[in-house]
A = this chain, B = another copy of it.
């Protein structure tokens, strides 16, 4: 391995000078610079970032703890984080926790030792102890989660308005009996926001019959189960707004298997715009969260925090979209 010393020796200058031409940090005379550059060229010297990190105390490493990369929304957030990060010279250290608290804590320690300059935590919920440990590391942190705690820098969309608008859309399409299918029995803060959005839309339109079903955590499977309950209840509503796309798809599957047609018999709307929603028949009407942008904006925020800029703290909201597709019927 060829080091800065070798280059200095070969170019007959001091290592200080070599360092200066590599980093363009101080003036170097043209002749000397040329000589150094030539040696670098010839030897194929490449600076060792580890050594540099040690002295500059800058690792340019960002730790990203995700729940599960297999979820397309997670992958999209990571893509956004990485893309912007790379633009500013930061690299991503990827850690998949599969929602295990112990794993999250382990990785937090790991990332600290690796001198990560900032952290992302992405997942539905994080245990309080994890959040506390993360805070104790004294690094900038940005969260993407459904359960927002105090003093969290958090990027998301306005879930309340999103569900409000979706419900409103169904009402405008002529639906008067709309149920809401909620995720999680222990409700996250975001889930509460969504429910409020649903109820508000009914209220604003002077609709009386609100009804909320709750599915457990194993989304698609449990939703399918719950679907059986809904099937029996089918004369009491014409549309279902779901807390997320996995639930919406699970319910649609169940409906179809039980001879109910979507959207002819029942309309279904999701939330999240996962990739599968476009492949499902009928294509799922849903709310689009710009996950890639969410990641990108989060990274910009984190970089500002690293720089010490006072940045917009707390919640940051991005625009959502209503993806109107074929799982909702217009009633006359």
Contact = CB atoms under 8 A, between A and B. Distances in A.
Given A49-B113, A50-B115, A82-B96, 14 more contacts: A46-B113, A47-B113, A50-B50, A69-B69, A75-B75, A78-B94, A82-B95, A91-B93, A91-B95, A92-B93, A92-B94, A94-B94, A276-B279, A281-B281
A26 B72 CA distance: 47
Interface in A45-61: 46-51, 53-54, 59
A225 interface: no
A83 B97 CA distance: 10
Interface string A64-107: 00001110100110110011001000011111100000000000
B70 A79 contact: yes
A207 interface: no
Contacts of A109: 46
A179 interface: no
A108 to B, nearest CB: 11
A96 B92 CA distance: 10
A75 B82 contact: no
Interface of A: 46-51, 53-54, 59, 68-70, 72, 75-76, 78-79, 82-83, 86, 91-96, 109-110, 112-115, 249, 275-276, 279-281
Given A48-B115, A115-B50, A79 B96 contact: yes
Contacts of A275: 70, 72, 275-276
Nearest to A112: B46
Given A50-B114, A113-B48, A281-B281, A94 B72 contact: no
**Which of A46, A86, A94, A280 lies at the interface centre, i.e. has the most chain B CB atoms within 10 A of its CB?**
A94
> What is the oligomeric copy number?
2
Contacts of A83: 96
Contacts of A91: 93-95, 110, 114
Contacts of A49: 113-115
B75 A69 contact: yes
A278 to B, nearest CB: 8
A191 to B, nearest CB: 24
Cβ-closest 4 pairs across A and B: A276-B279, A49-B113, A69-B75, A92-B94
Contacts of A68: 79
Contact of A53 (B50, B76, B92): B50
Contacts of A59: 50
Contact of A54 (B54, B78, B96): B54
Contact of A50 (B54, B95, B96): B54
A68 B82 CA distance: 11
A76 B96 CA distance: 12
Contacts of A93: 91-94
A249 B75 CA distance: 22
Nearest to A115: B50
Given A91-B93, A94-B78, A70 B69 contact: no
14 contacts: A50-B54, A68-B79, A69-B75, A69-B79, A70-B76, A70-B275, A86-B95, A91-B93, A91-B94, A93-B93, A94-B94, A275-B276, A276-B276, A279-B279
